[in-house]
Each structure stands twice: as structure tokens, then as C-alpha cells.
Structure 1
Amino acid sequence: MATQYEHLQVELRGETAWLTLNRPERLNALNAQLARELRDFFGGLDARSQARVVVLRATGRAFCAGYDLKDADVGGRGVEDMLQVQYGIRDIMVAMRRCPQPVIGIVQGAASGGGFALALACDVRLATPDARMNAAFIRLGLSGCDMGVSYFLPRMVGASVASEYLLTGRFLDAQRALVLGLVSRLGSVEELATQAQALADDMLLATPLGLRLTKEALRHAIDGPSMEAVMAMEDRNQILCTQGQDFAEGIAAFLEKRRPDFGRR
């Protein structure tokens, strides 16, 4: 957590890492350096990391305006080179989903293209009333399906709504996102920071193992081939959680009507 980045600010508050995109002059658009830093941060998280929850936010008036086209060097590049550029952005979302830490996103202003993908890769999304999200790719001569957006969006809002936005590149405003359940709450940046900290604090009441396994189970349940397969995973996770000292502490705290002391075993 002591790593110093150029475009990414990292602040550890207890067991919560506050991760801030910091290219406000470019609306926090993803250039090669910021992409590397996001991959490095999320790819470096594991079960032993000091941070158990991550809050992802941005400076300035936009969350992330997508890929920085002024920084892009795509002219005349072949398939292999362009695939490496593509993987460099895509792998951020893969790392966000695979890391054991829940990620809470605070979205203000525009979240377009890759910024939309970043928001969707978060486990919980909070948004300001002026938040606007869209799959901008299709308006740039590309497919509207990119960086995991076509995976996340239909699962969150259904196929019809996802098709409406992916086929057109239209902006999804904050109020409709709230109605659709794509975001959990609306508020000012300051209010959302307070809510994000409260959410993180509540998450940290869980055992380290229980929190990790819950994120893992939710991720796999989305793609579970059947109810029985998902329940088998849930059964496995529950039994794993009963084997450590934290389960006994949780029961004792409940019976004694106090906050459990799970520690970091």
C-alpha cells in the first residue's frame, strides 16, 4: 500500500483502501500509465493484503471519460499490437473481479467507455445525481460490447435494457440507474464518501474469511449452471467458515450482545 503512483492516489484508512483516479484535467481518462497503475494495484491484492475493502473514486467533475484518445497511438498498428492495448485495459476489470476485496465505487459525472466498465466491475456503486454512464465504444466505430460491459450490464439490468444502451451508446442517467438497481444510492460526493465508509465499516464487521468467500460466491453464483451448483458452493463456504476461531467468537459475541473481535487470523 506504500506504492507511489503518478495518476492514482492510495490512502489506507484502517483496513479500507481509498483509491482515487487523479487525472482531473483529462476527466480521469485512461492512458497507458493509469491503466498500468490500476492493474498493478488490483492485481497486487490478495487475502494477506492489509486492505480488506476498496473504495474507488475520482477527482474532478468526472469519474472516468474512458480511454484517452489523445494519448492513444492506434494509427497503423496491427492486430497483435492492438490486442496488447486491449488487454491492458481489459485486465483491470478482470483483476477487480478476482481480487478478494469488495470494491465500492463512487461515480460522479461521466463514466464512459472504459469508465463505464470500471464502474460496472465494482461490487457496489454509489452515484451523484449528475452521473452519466454509457458504452461510448459504439459511437467511435467500435462494437458496443467491450471490457466486460456486455457481461456485467445484462446481468445487472436485464437483456432488453442492456441492449438499449449497448446498441445505441446512449447515456444512462443517475436516476434511471437507481431505479434499475445499477446503483445503490444517490447523493453528493461528500455524502457518498460518508456512505462508502459506512458500507466499508459494516463489511469489516464480517470475518476476513467470510467476507472473501461471500464476494467469491456472489461472483460465481452469477454464472452458476444451476441452483444446486450454487448451493454446493455455498455449503462448502459455510463449512470452511466454521473451522476457524472466528466462528466461535461470532457466536459468543452474539450471545453476549457485543461486537465480535475477529482480528486478522
Structure 2
Amino acid sequence: MTKMAGLRPEHFIWEMRGRVALIRLNRPERKNPLTFQSYAELRDCFRALAGATDVDVVVFASNGGNFSSGGDVHDIIGPLVGSPMAVLLAFTRMTGDLVKAMLSCGKPIIAAVDGVAVGAGAILAMAADMRLASPEAKCAFLFTRVGLAGCDMGACAMLPRIIGQGRAAELLYTGRVMTAAEGERWGFWNALHGAESLEAEALALAEQLAAGPVFAHAVTKTQLLQEWDMGLLAAIEAEAQAQAICMQTKDFERAYRAFGARQKPEFPGD
């Protein structure tokens, strides 16, 4: 178990708002591209969040009017051209490890996307549990535009489950921009908010989740991930076991007593 309040990352911005962690990339002059270093540091951060005792929810926000322009052309793509297979595979596995860490961190993640979220930036939004966007948000899985396959960092597994196979196939084959209106209609964005209120709306949702029951939220996140690989009968049994565990918490007992007293329950998370 660790505390994250004192985290001082070198390659992204980290803030604490109560028990909500706010993350944003820190190269707004270039629309916040990712580098080898920021990939690795974000991966390590989300891995550490799995054991964090002072963070209940994460907001991955935009900076300077943009979320992320993806892998930096000069800092990543250029050096990878002509690299041996071992180097290339180490890099692609590292980027995938960031998504794995986000999925496995045990904390709900809310993406607040303004401006561009393209390439790996679109993947970061996709890997969040919930996604809010501004009407100006432009999301593109543009890997085919640089001669790569659309199957990057889990996109071929995750995107069809969010927006449907046909829509995902079109975006992954063409690399075209998904407009904010399309994304909301298809269920990629949970809601659209004006750019001036986007981050506040994301933080308000995060604070609602941080009010608990946080242990049960962690179980929900775990089941959302693990049940992707389960058949229906196995999933029903897994949920029976997970719910029985939650019924042993004091949060469950408090909720029952608050209901009887006609009070709003409080959820310290034990």
C-alpha cells in the first residue's frame, strides 16, 4: 500500500483534489504528444495506483485545449524507423502495458477530452472507464495513416465493444476523425460539455464516485475487466462471489442502517 499525494512526475502533471487524482500531459504547445519517457512514467503511475490508499478516482484531463496528439513524430516514430524487431516489440509491449495498468489499477478513470485525441491519445481515452468530451473534440485511431495496423494497444478488442464492430472497423481501417457528435451517438462519449466546463464536470463526476462505496467500485472495475474473457455462466458465478465479498463490508451495513434511518449513507470504504 502506498500514498500518491507526494508524486512528482517528470513527464506529466499530477494534482490531487481531495481523493481524486488529476493527470494531464504537459506539452500543450505540441498538443501533448507522448514520448518514450511519458509512456513509461504513466505506466508506472497506474501500476502504483493499484496500491494507492489516498486515491479513489482518476481524471485524465486535457491541457491547453487538447488531450493528446499521440506518439511524438520526432521523439518516437523517427527513432523507431529501421530499429531491430527486439526494440520494436519492447516498445509496443510497453505501450500495451500502459493500457493494462489503466485497466488493472482498481480506480475508476474518467477521461476529459478537449481538442485532439488521436493515435495513442485516442487509446488513452478508450482505456478510461468513462469519457467526457467537448463538442470540439476530435478522436481518430489514425495508425493506418502512418502505415501501421489498426490493432494498437488493444484497439481491436476494446473499441468494437464500445461502439460496435462495424463502426470500429471503419475507424480503424480509415483512420478518419470521429466527431464529438458521432462519438456521443455511438456511446464512445458518455456526455458532451462545453470546453469551459468540461474539466469541472469530470471532477464533479469523480467526486461523486470518490464518495463511495470505493471498495465496491474497485470490485466493479475488476469484474468489468475479467468478465471480458468469461462465458455467461462463469460471469454470473463470479459476480455472485464478488457481491458476497462486498456484503461483508461495513459500507454495506452502513447503507442498510442509513436506509432504515432515512439518511444518506456514508462510505468510508471499509
Question: Could you state the TM-score of these two structures normalised by the residue count of structure 1?
Answer: 0.95
Pairwise CA distance, 1:217: 1.4
1:183 aligns with 2:183: no
Name the counterpart of 2:263: 258
1:56 to 56, 60, 77: 60
**Would you say 1:229 and 2:264 are equivalent positions?**
no
RMSD between superposed Cα atoms in Å: 1.4
> Are the counterparts in 2 of residues 45 and 99 from structure 1 also a CA contact under 8 Å?
yes
- Could you tell me how far 1:214 is from its partner in structure 2? 1.0
Provide the C-alpha distance between the structure 2 equivalents of 1:48 and 1:31, rounded to a whole number of angstroms: 25
Query: Could you tell me whether the CA contact under 8 Å between 2:251 and 2:269 is conserved in 1?
Result: no
- 1:86-139 deviation per Cα after TM superposition (whole angstroms, max 9, x unaligned): 122221111000110000000111111101110100000000111111111101
Q: Deviations over 1:163-187 (max 9, x none)?
A: 1111111110100000001101111
Runs of 4+ in 1 over 6 A off after TM superposition: none
1:101 aligned onto 2:107:
yes
Which range is displaced more, 201-210 or 30-39?
Answer: 201-210
Aligned partners of 2:60, 2:25: CA distance in 1, in Å? 8
Deviation per CA, 1:174-225, whole angstroms, max 9, x where unpaired? 0000000110111123322222122122212332321111111122233322
Q: Secondary structure at the match of 1:86?
A: helix
Check if 1:82 corresponds to 2:78: no
Matches of 1:148 and 1:115, distance apart in 2: 13
- Asked whether the equivalents of residues 118 and 140 of structure 2 are also in contact (C-alpha less than 8 Å), the reply is yes
Match of 1:240 in 2: 245
Residues 257 and 201 (structure 1 numbering): CA distance in 2 closer, same or farther, change over 3 Å?
A: farther
CA distance in 2, matches of 1:61, 1:70: 22
Describe the SS at the equivalent of 1:125.
Answer: strand
Supply the distance in 2 between the matched residues of 1:38 and 1:14 (Cα, whole angstroms).
Answer: 21
2:22 is aligned to 18
Q: How does 1:111-190 map to 2 (within 5 A)?
A: 111-190=117-196
* Equivalent residue for 1:7, pick from 5, 11, 19: 11
TM-score, normalised with respect to structure 2: 0.93
Q: How many residues align?
A: 264
1: CA distance between counterparts of 2:195 and 2:149? 32
C-alpha contact (below 8 Å) 1:157/1:181 kept by paired residues: yes
Give ranges in structure 1 of 5+ residues lacking alignment. none
After TM superposition, give the deviation of residue 43 of structure 1 in Å.
1.0
Counterpart position of 1:197? 203
Note if contact 1:27-1:64 (Cα within 8 Å) is conserved in structure 2.
Answer: yes
Q: How far did 1:247 drift?
A: 1.4
